[in-house]
Amino acid sequence: MAASAFAPAKVNLTLHVTGRRDDGYHLLDSLVVFVDAGDELFAEPAAELSLALAGPMAGQVPTGDDNLVLRAARMVCPPGLGAALRLHKALPVAAGLGGGSADAAAAVRAIAALCGLPLPDAAALAPLGADVPACLAARPVRMRGIGERLQPVAIPPLHFVLVNPGTSLSTPEVFAALEKKENAPMPEELPVWDGVASFCRWLGALRNDLETPARALAPAVGEVLARLAETEGCLLARMSGSGATCFGLYGDAAAARQAAEGLARAFPDWWVRAAASWQAGDAPGR
CA distance 97 to 8: 9
Annotation says 10 is catalytic: yes
Q: How far apart are CA 261 and CA 233, in angstroms?
A: 14
Residues 223, 215: Cα–Cα separation, whole Å: 9
Q: Which residue in the list 39, 103, 131, 209 is annotated as catalytic?
A: 131
Residue 103 annotated in active site: no
Coil, strand, or helix at residue 263?
helix
SS3 label, residue 35:
strand
- Catalytic position from the list 10, 39, 89, 103: 10
- The amino acid at 117: L
Assign residue 92 a region: left if phi > 0, alpha if psi is -120 to 50, beta otherwise? beta
Residue ranges of the alpha helices (H) in 138-270? 171-176, 196-204, 211-217, 220-230, 253-266
Whether 228 contacts 264, CB under 8 Å: no
Helix axes 99-115, 68-76, angle to 10 degrees: 30
Per the DSSP assignment, residues forming a β-bridge with 85 are 43, 51
Q: Catalytic site residues?
A: 10, 131
